[in-house]
Structure 1
Amino acid sequence: MKKSLVSMVALALGAAAAPGIAQDSPPATTAPAPAMATAPKLLVVISVDQFSADLFAEYRNHFTGGFARLLDGAVFPSGYQSHASTVTCTGHSTILTGMRPMHTGIIANDWIDFSSPLDDKEIYCVEDESVPGSTNDKYTVSPDHLMVPTLGERMKAADPATRVVSVAGKDRSAVLMGGHKVDEMWWWDRDSFVTYAGRATPPVVARANKAVAAEIARPQPPLELPDFCRAKDRAIPLGEGKTVGTGRFARAAGDVSGFGNSPAKDGATLALAAGLIQAMKLGQGPQTDIIDIGASATDHVGHKYGTEGTEMCLQLASLDRDLGDFFAQLDAMGIDYAVALTADHGGNDLPERQREQAMPMAERLAKSFNPDTIGKAVGATLGLSGKLLAYSSGNFYVTPDVPAAKKQAVIAETKKVLLAQPQVAAVFTGAEIAASPDPAGPADTWPLIMRAKASYYPGRSGDLVVALKPLVTPISDPTRGSVATHGSFWDYDRRVPILFWRKGMTGFEQPHAIETVDIAPTLAALAHVATGAPKMDGRCLDLDAGPGSTCR
């Protein structure tokens, strides 16, 4: 079998290679397993973008690499990104802050701010919109919209010697897990890993980018399909000659986009993470360091091809192997490390395939569901003209064109018009959400309005928040880009696995609901870091399978 990209790039970096990949690879450490009572030297936090609990359940019996290792630890198959806005920015903001979006301020990937200097008033979650000429396609990355500290920041405040490193396939993943104070932060940007303007590029990153550029310059033949993927090999027609379901990730030499939308991107991300760990000697000092890793290819594959074809099967098989190689490299470095792995949100397959597989109610959102059409219906009733509404990520905003005296009437009429749409399950006004109880109890029992409140932040969230009915995909035309997505109030988007592992721990599985906001306080306790203010929304999870406790 071809060497994994993790191993090839690691060799180019001079990093410790996984045992069995190269003949001169050092053996894995044979040091005795550390007691759970001692703080690990390195926290490794991995977010697999769009890795739903459904995908985890579907593939867990096929994992033989890195995921298989994690299955020997503490397994929580029903973790929850408990909020309603199940998108990348929002989910990543919860993982290492321990706080829900109602406190992180990250309510969606984008939101509307009519006071913004931007022409279109739409703000990207890690954008510095004060930079002249900033757009959603060309912007300056900033962590300023994140309103709370991350675990790395808390660790660095407790011990300034702590190193905080963030590496991801997306800028928003790196920023929202790393936070405001990082030692190194790198994310994939079109054809290489980049960081904030003005920051120096360490030799290890320069070598990684060179190695990845060489990989992109080579053609990639179709990936070999594992036997367990063969049942997935069926074309799904989407119109205009477009099909999905049979892809093997072949790409021509120099195909940057094909590389970025393939399993190879996760391999490059993990390889750079391993290189930084070695170059910076993370986990080898007296303090505990932390590295967070955002693996984004599962999300790219889910959007571009859906979740049930050969593409996703190959992606998860490749990621399993790459994670195994990554962990083996850490073993070879002799580091005492603890791992937490989860996802920023789940995902839903394309309705065309779902309708063939016992879900005839799956459908695409009607093209008439847009702020202009809804606004015209509202205006016709109230005798108003002009642009009344703006829309972003499930949020409807009343525009400044509406006279202040008419705003509440517009909100009320918009809710009425939206509820009349056959694909809408619920509509909540900002006032209704604000007056509702704060989230409490197991996340799988929350009513819809509590889910909405968990990701409602005044001044950023809309005047109205809309929940579409289950299995309604908010992509009207699958021939123009994405074919499937996420972002709903429903559990296929909210449920994600949460896995913890440390060498020598006694594993267990707990099927009951927990939340991703529980990860940060759990790791803080494991690393003997007091959390303090601001108080986290999550709770510490006891990772000791016996009568002892890792929570203090």
Structure 2
Amino acid sequence: MKLKIIFFFCITFVFLSCNQEPKKTEKTKLVVGIVVDQMRYDYLTRFQDRYGENGFKRLLKNGFSLENAHYNYIPTYTAVGHSAIYTGTTPSEHGIIGNNWYDKFLKKSIYCVDDSEYTTVGNKSDEGKKSPKRLFTTTITDQLHLAQNMNGKTIGIAIKDRSSVLPAGHTANAAYWYSAGNFNNWITSSYYMEELPQWVTDFNNNNKADQYINAGWETLHDIDTYTKSRVDDNVFEGKFRGEQSPVFPKNLKELRIKNGNFSIIKTVPAGNTLTTDFAKAAIIGENLGKSDFTDFLAVSYSSTDYVGHKYGPASIEIEDTYLRLDKDLENFFNFLDQQVGNGNYTVFLTADHAAVHVPAYLQSLKIPAHYFSTKNFRNFLLGITKKYYKSSELIENVSNYQIFLNKEKIEALNLNLNDVAQKLADEVVHFDGIYKAVTARTMQTTHFSSGILNSLQNGYNQKLSGDVLMIPYPASLIRGRTGTSHGSGYSYDTHVPILFYGNGIKKGTSTKRYNITDIAPTIANLLSIEAPNSTNGIVIDEVLKK
């Protein structure tokens, strides 16, 4: 009898368990996408013991970290990176092939978000003539609006216009960026609105930038404790105009006179603090995270890029910038807890690209590194076309390691376009600095499944890209011998952090290889909405609770 009773209760328990609805996670009220411009993955590990507990470490300890995440295309530039993060695809599909590029239809170089159809809202400059029209695909921010029948709010914020406009997408309620020089205010485009909201006007009137600039830039801690970086005064770092050497402290109040007045805040950590302040004002001013719908705030920290370009990854300046950014993030996360509620928001943090160590510094350590001369290369190309085709008019433009051919001239000379392109590809690899070269026809007819040529192919857009595409040696830059840059498909440019935190996110880490294009479909899955319309990334199942 006892066995029958036990059996009955067991069957009943199993039956009830199988028929119980799974516990649903409350939907997130606010998604915050954070992009740190030019952040190498190793900034997480190199400075980890100096970070506080509630900035980067809060995401690392209580969120999910992808330790082997990369960009899977060339070129790794700001506009391209922000587009890839939010569209879940590469330049081959989304159409943003650079910050600037040569338009072979207009026969001129263009800027990624320029749009003369719109005007500046916020001041009398031309800096607001922008829109996302050159972005061919939808973004995760667009898809969230579509899924909610255009309810909920989407706002983009960054010092750089492209870093605000492209993530916010085509349907954004607003995208704001900082107009520096003598203007000193946050502006937008008539693409979004006809006048600034009162909260933006109020923020501009507070003039926090003056306060931050006049405070100067000293190291957060005793400068002798910055042992993970090079000595303060060295030949590998750039200087502000009027500065004798690139050392601390930096008297920004005096330096601003010769460095574009308010523009100087872009190139110091205070630019990130100003961005944080504005993001907080946006959340309050727009009541983000307070409605029945999910809102999306896309924030990009641009000053890290300006500092990196001037000083390089091994500088005290970059270390101090990240220690200060860590405090900005702590401030921001604590604010989100109070304003939106811990557990009501989801954050992802990543970078639009990383950066190479200063090549001159690498050379001083006997590590192979190079500086590429565009002038010498143009002369080299001219020699090729004169030698084989008796013409100096076959090349229309050379930019972003691409050659655009003059198709009209080639046709007039009864030459075959593909033959000319292949001859150039064969010859340019003899130039000191070019490591690989392929034609557009090769990109269209050959599939590269891995390696750097696969990255080149992912960045090739048949409609927009050039006729010959080239790859320089590793650790090559086109610039002076101080500071650094980016743009390649090598790991120093592609390896970036991807951190998820908050509502719907597990705790953990993964060493699996993931691509930057996996962020958008993962967020789409979290929100139970359709992914952007050209997404080719995958959903990262291991980060999601559901």
TM tier relative to shorter chain: 0.7 to 0.9
Change (3 A) 1:44 1:221: closer
Q: Is the 8 A contact 1:114 1:400 kept in 2?
A: no
Classify the secondary structure of the residue corresponding to 1:327.
helix
Classify the secondary structure of the residue corresponding to 1:339.
strand
Matches within 5 A, 1:267-286: 267-286=273-292
Q: Which residue of 2 aligns with 1:61?
A: 49
The aligned length equals 494
Q: Which residue of 1 aligns with 2:133?
A: 144
1:44-99 deviation digits (Å, cap 9, x = unpaired): 00000111123333223322141111102100022111101111111111111112
Deviation at residue 209 of structure 1 after TM alignment: 2.0
Q: Which residue of 2 aligns with 1:45?
A: 33
Deviation at residue 205 of structure 1 after TM alignment: 1.4
Equivalent in 235, 250, 255 of residue 237 of structure 1? 235
Q: Which residue of 1 aligns with 2:145?
A: 156
Q: Percent of pairs identical after alignment?
A: 25
Q: Amino acid of the residue matched to residue 78 of structure 1? A: N
Classify the secondary structure of the residue corresponding to 1:96.
helix
Aligned-residue RMSD, C-alpha: 2.6
CA distance in 2 between partners of 1:234 and 1:400 (Å): 51
Q: Which residue of 1 aligns with 2:189?
A: 196
Change (3 A) 1:395 1:243: farther
Q: Is the 8 A contact 1:66 1:320 kept in 2?
A: yes
Classify the secondary structure of the residue corresponding to 1:402.
helix
Change (3 A) 1:339 1:411: same
Q: Amino acid of the residue matched to residue 224 of structure 1? A: L
Deviation at residue 139 of structure 1 after TM alignment: 7.8
Q: Which residue of 2 aligns with 1:539?
A: 538
Q: Is the 8 A contact 1:245 1:309 kept in 2?
A: no
After TM superposition, the structure 1 stretch with the greater mean CA deviation from structure 2, 204-213 or 280-289, is 204-213
When normalised by structure 1's length, the TM-score is 0.83
Q: Which residue of 1 aligns with 2:520?
A: 520
Change (3 A) 1:381 1:343: same
Matches within 5 A, 1:486-525: 486-502=486-502, 506-525=506-525
Deviation at residue 265 of structure 1 after TM alignment: 0.9
Matches within 5 A, 1:95-494: 95-116=85-106, 121-128=108-115, 140-159=129-148, 160-190=150-180, 191-197=184-190, 199-211=194-206, 212-215=208-211, 218-226=214-222, 228-232=225-229, 233-237=231-235, 246-252=247-253, 255-335=261-341, 336-356=344-364, 358-386=365-393, 388-400=395-407, 402-404=409-411, 405-406=414-415, 407-437=417-447, 446-475=450-479, 477-478=480-481, 483-494=483-494
Classify the secondary structure of the residue corresponding to 2:72.
coil
Change (3 A) 1:56 1:199: farther
Change (3 A) 1:430 1:504: closer
CA distance in 1 between partners of 2:216 and 2:372 (Å): 36
CA distance in 2 between partners of 1:375 and 1:150 (Å): 41
Q: Is the 8 A contact 2:216 2:249 kept in 1?
A: no
1:315-343 deviation digits (Å, cap 9, x = unpaired): 10111100110111111114311100001
CA distance in 2 between partners of 1:329 and 1:130 (Å): 37
Structure 1 gap segments, 5+ residues each: 1-34, 440-445
Deviation at residue 128 of structure 1 after TM alignment: 2.2
Q: Amino acid of the residue matched to residue 41 of structure 1? A: K
CA distance in 2 between partners of 1:422 and 1:372 (Å): 13
CA distance in 1 between partners of 2:518 and 2:540 (Å): 7
The structure richer in helix per residue is 2
Q: Is the 8 A contact 1:36 1:544 kept in 2?
A: no
Q: Is the 8 A contact 1:378 1:417 kept in 2?
A: no
Classify the secondary structure of the residue corresponding to 1:314.
helix
CA distance in 1 between partners of 2:376 and 2:44 (Å): 33
Deviation at residue 213 of structure 1 after TM alignment: 4.1
CA distance in 1 between partners of 2:132 and 2:185 (Å): 21
Q: Amino acid of the residue matched to residue 451 of structure 1? A: S
Change (3 A) 1:355 1:228: farther
CA distance in 1 between partners of 2:46 and 2:409 (Å): 49
Change (3 A) 1:402 1:139: farther
Classify the secondary structure of the residue corresponding to 1:285.
coil
CA distance in 2 between partners of 1:387 and 1:286 (Å): 59
Q: Is the 8 A contact 1:372 1:387 kept in 2?
A: no
Q: Which residue of 2 aligns with 1:442?
A: none
Structure 2 gap segments, 5+ residues each: 1-22, 120-125
CA distance in 2 between partners of 1:206 and 1:452 (Å): 44
After TM superposition, the structure 1 stretch with the greater mean CA deviation from structure 2, 167-176 or 139-148, is 139-148
Deviation at residue 495 of structure 1 after TM alignment: 1.1
After TM superposition, the structure 1 stretch with the greater mean CA deviation from structure 2, 313-322 or 49-58, is 49-58
Deviation at residue 129 of structure 1 after TM alignment: 6.2
CA distance in 1 between partners of 2:402 and 2:176 (Å): 31
Change (3 A) 1:489 1:334: closer
Q: Is the 8 A contact 1:428 1:464 kept in 2?
A: yes
Q: Which residue of 2 aligns with 1:11?
A: none
